[in-house]
Chain A
Amino acid sequence: MPADTERSVDPSRRALLVGGLVAAGGAAIAAGSARSQSVPDPMAGHDMSNMPSDPYAAPMSGMAHGNMTTVGLVDHGRNGFDPTSMLTDWETGRTELLPDGRTLRTFEVDAIDREIEIAPGIFFPAWTFNGRVPGPALRAKEGERLRIVFRNLGSHPHSMHFHGIHSARMDGVPGAGLIGPGEEFIYEFDAKPFGCHLYHCHALPLKRHMHKGMYGLFVIDPDPARQTDPAFTAIAASRLHGSPENAEWQELAMVMNAFDTNFDGANEVYAANTVGQAYMNVPIQIDKTRPVRIYLVNVTEFDPINSFHLHANFFNYFDTGTTLTPTLRTVDLITQCQAQRGILEFSFAEHEDGMYMFHAHQSEFTELGWVGMFDVRGPAA
C-alpha cells in the first residue's frame, strides 16, 4: 500500500527534489541520484565556493614552523637541566694516576626518580641518571681505566650497561651490576674501543627502563699517540677532548629520544635531548668559521628507527665513531636503529648567515617535537 504511493509520486517528487537540491547548491546534500548511499562520496555537493574563505587560509603566523609548534615554554630551571647547556656539558669525572702510569677516571652516577617537563606543560615521571634526561654525557680517553660509582636512589632496581668492551661481571645485566634501591655498585673496565657510545639501564623490562629516561652518551676519544700515520694523529687529536686541536671544533652532544606519556606503547613527544622543540624556541648558536661535530645517539623506544637530516648542507658520518675515516661521505641524512650512534662532521664556512633547520626526517617525529635550528653567524655578526 505505501509502496504504491511511493511509486505513484516518485517521478514528480524526485524531479522536484533533485531540482530543489541542486538549486540550493547546499554544502550538505549530494544531488546525484545515481550515487549509492552505501559508498558516500565525501566530496559530493560540498561546493567550496559558498564558503566564506578558503580553509587552507588558516593563519600561518610565527616562524618557519608556522603554527606547527607547542604552546608555551618549558621551565628548564625547575627541570634542573637545560637542553642548550646539555649540548656542551661533558662529564669528565675526576682523574688520578695509577702506579702503572695509566689514568684512572672516576665517574659518580646516581639513579633518581624525578618528574620532568618534556614539553610545555606536560610532565613525565622519569627515572634519571643524576637527575637529568639524558643522563650525563660521560667522556674519557681511549686506554684509560674507568671506574663508575653507581648508586641507586630510585624506587626500582637499576643498572648501567655500557656499550663498550668489558668483562661479563661489569655488564650491568641481572646478576652483574644490577642493584636494588639503596644499593651501590662500582663498574670498572678499560676505555675501549674509541668511538661514540652509550650507556643505559639494563633492568627488565628493558623497554620501560629505557623510555623512562635511563640512558646517556658514553664517548671515548681516540688517543693520538696510538696512531702511527701522522694524518690520523691529527684527526685523533681533533677528537680528543681538551686538546688545542679539539678546541677548534664546536662539539654538540645530542640524544634522540621520545616519551610515551600515556604508556600505550607509542610516543607522544619526540626530541633531541628530551625537550620537544627546545632548539626551535632557542636555536643553537653556530660560529660558521669553526667546524661542527655532533655526537649523536638514538635511544627512541617503540619506533625502530630515528634519523637526522641537516638542511642546506651535507656532512660526513662516522658510524659508531670507531673509525677516523668517514663511513659515509657527503650525505644530508643518516638513520639510526635503536642504540645506534655515530659522529657527524660538517661546516657552514661557505654559507650565508641564517637559520638552518635540522630534524628527523620521519615527518611524524619532526612534527611531534624533534626539530631544531642552527643559528649560523659569521664572526662579524
Chain B
Amino acid sequence: MSDQSQPTRPVLTRLLLVLVPLAAMLGAFVWIASLDPLRSFNNGAPAVEALTVERTILDEAGIGLLVRAGGSEPMAIAQVAVDDAFWTFTQDPPGPIARGDTVWVQIPYPWVLGEAHLVNMLSNTGTAFEHEIAVAVPTPKATGGQLRLQALVGAIVGLLPVALGLMFYPAMRGVGRGGMNFLLALTVGLLAFLLIDMTSEALELAASAAALFQGSAMVWLAGLASFLLLMAIGRWRGTPEGLALAFYIALGIGLHNFGEGLAIGGAFAAGSAGLGTFLVLGFALHNVTEGIGIAAPMLRVRPPLWTFAALTLLAGGPAVLGMWAGSLAYAPQWSALALAVGAGAILQVMVEVTAYLMRQNNDRQVVLFAPAVLGGFLAGLAFMYATAALIKV
C-alpha cells in the first residue's frame, strides 16, 4: 500500500501546485471585477467603439451588411444613413452587439447598378462608421450557373496554366546540369515573387479586418507556423526530392492559387474588377511558370502519367475553391489567414528546392552564384513581375 501511495503523492502535490496559482488568478479577477480598483482611471471618456463590415450583399432586398463589433463594451447601431439619407433597417439578431459578435444589418435601399454608395452607421453615441460600396453589382449567389461560371474562371487561371507548364516536361528532360540548375533556380525565383506578393496581399487584407483579429501578427504567425509544420512533415522521412518535392511545390502553389481565387472571387463580389478576358488570360500567362516549377525537380525520375493529373489538380484546383469561397463567403481575416498559410508553404518549397539544387551539385555553396542559377532566379522574378503587370488592377 505504501509503495502504491508513493507515486500518487507527487501527482497530487503537482496538481495542487497548479491549482494554487489558478485559484489565486481567479480570486484576483473576481476582486478586480467586483471592487473595480481602477475606477479612478475613469476620466469620463465614452467607451471605445469599433465596427467592421466583413461582407456586403447587394440583392433585390437592398443592401445587407455583416458587421462585427469590437468595442470595449457592447454597442448599439442607432441609425443607418445611405448616401446621406436616413434609411430604415433591420438588425439580426437585434439589440446591443457584444465585442466580437457579428450581426446582419439589412437595409431596403434601392441601390443603383454600377454606381457607388456610402453606408453610414451611427452608434448611440453618434459615432459614425462608414462603409463604401465602390461599385454596386448584384452579389453572386450560390446557384448552379454561378458556381459553374466561377469554376470555369478558376480553371482558366489555375488548372490550365499548370497543365500547360507541365507539358514542357518532355522537353525539359533532355537538359544537362546547367539547364537543370537554371530551371530549379527559375522555380525558386518565381516562388520568391509569390511569397512577397502573397505576404503583402495578406497584410493588406488583414488591415481591413476587425482589430481583435490582430491582422498583422496573425499573418506573420500563421505563415511561420505553416512553414514550420510543412518543413517538419516534409522531412519526416528524409529531405524531399523528386516526385515528393514536386508534390510539395504543387501544394504550395495550390495554396497560392487558393488565395488568388479568393482575391478574384472577392473582387467579383465587390464589383471592383470588371474581369475581362484580357485579365483572365493575364492570370493564365502569369501562372504558366508554376507548371514548369513543379516539373523541375522530377526530371531525374520517370513519374507515371497519373501524377501529372494529380499535380495539376493539387496546384490548380484550389483556384476554383478559392473563387467560390471568395465570392460567396468572403471575410477579410479568413482570406488573410489563407494567404498567410500559403506564404508559409511557399517558403517551405523555396527552402527545399534550394536544398535540392545544392545537393545536385558538388560545389554546394559556389553553385548558388553560378551564372545559370543566378540567371534562372532573376529570370523567374522578372518574368513574374512582368506578367503581374497584366493582372494588377
Contacts and interface: CB of A to CB of B under 8 A. Distances in A.
Contacts of A44: 274, 276
A32 interface: yes
Contact of B126 (A20, A26, A72, A124): A124
Contact of B86 (A38, A40, A368): A368
Contacts of B59: 52, 55
A33 interface: yes
Contacts of A9: 164
A46 B138 contact: yes
Interface residues of B, number: 68
Interface in B101-128: 108-111, 113-115, 120, 122-128
B152 A121 contact: no
B87 A67 contact: yes
A70 B274 contact: no
Contact of A33 (B87, B146, B272, B278): B278
Given A30-B276, A40-B393, A24 B126 contact: no
Contacts of A43: 113-114
B385 interface: no
Contacts of B109: 58, 67
Contacts, number: 201
Given A14-B277, A21-B277, A55-B111, A367 B124 contact: no
Given A27-B146, A37-B276, A70 B79 contact: yes
Interface string A277-289: 1000000000000
A13 B149 CA distance: 16
A71 interface: yes
Contact of A55 (B58, B150, B164): B58
| A contact patch SS | loop
A94 interface: no
Nearest to A51: B138
Nearest to A67: B88
A367 B271 CA distance: 27
A288 B149 CA distance: 63
Contacts of A46: 113-114, 137-138
B62 interface: yes
B60 interface: yes
Contacts of A53: 60
B278 A268 contact: no
B333 interface: no
A31 B149 CA distance: 13
A48 B85 CA distance: 26
Interface stretch (B9-17, B281-289, B355-363): B281-289
Nearest to B110: A58
B215 interface: no
A78 to B, nearest CB: 13
A42 B135 contact: yes
B125 A26 contact: no
Interface string B142-182: 00011011101100100000001101100000000000000
B292 interface: yes
A124 B126 CA distance: 7
Contacts of B145: 24, 26, 50
B61 interface: yes
Q: Is the interface of B mostly helix, strand, loop or mixed?
A: mixed
Given A27-B137, A69-B88, A368-B86, A262 B78 contact: no
Interface residues of A, number: 70
A8 to B, nearest CB: 10
Nearest to A45: B274
B86 A367 contact: yes
B113 A262 contact: no
Interface in A1-28: 1-3, 5-6, 9-10, 13-14, 17-18, 20-21, 24, 26-28
Contacts of A1: 168, 292
Contacts of A51: 60, 138
Contacts of A42: 113-115, 135, 137, 271, 274
A262 B79 contact: no
B122 A261 contact: yes
Nearest to A121: B78
A28 B122 contact: no
Interface in B42-92: 58-62, 76, 78-81, 84-89
A40 B110 contact: no
B87 A120 contact: no
A28 B140 contact: yes
B268 interface: yes
A158 B109 CA distance: 43
A196 B84 CA distance: 31
B78 A40 contact: no
A57 B125 contact: no
A33 B393 CA distance: 16
Contacts of B279: 37
11 contacts: A5-B288, A9-B164, A14-B281, A17-B281, A24-B149, A40-B272, A43-B113, A43-B114, A46-B138, A71-B88, A368-B84
Interface of B: 58-62, 76, 78-81, 84-89, 108-111, 113-115, 120, 122-128, 135, 137-138, 140, 145-146, 148-150, 152-153, 156, 164-165, 167-168, 268, 271-282, 284-285, 288-289, 292, 327, 383, 393
Interface of A: 1-3, 5-6, 9-10, 13-14, 17-18, 20-21, 24, 26-33, 35-38, 40-46, 48, 50-59, 62, 67-72, 118-124, 259, 261-262, 264, 268-269, 276-277, 364, 367-369
Given A33-B276, A35-B276, A59-B108, 17 more contacts: A6-B284, A24-B145, A24-B149, A27-B137, A27-B146, A29-B153, A37-B274, A37-B282, A38-B393, A54-B60, A55-B59, A118-B126, A119-B122, A121-B78, A122-B124, A261-B125, A368-B86
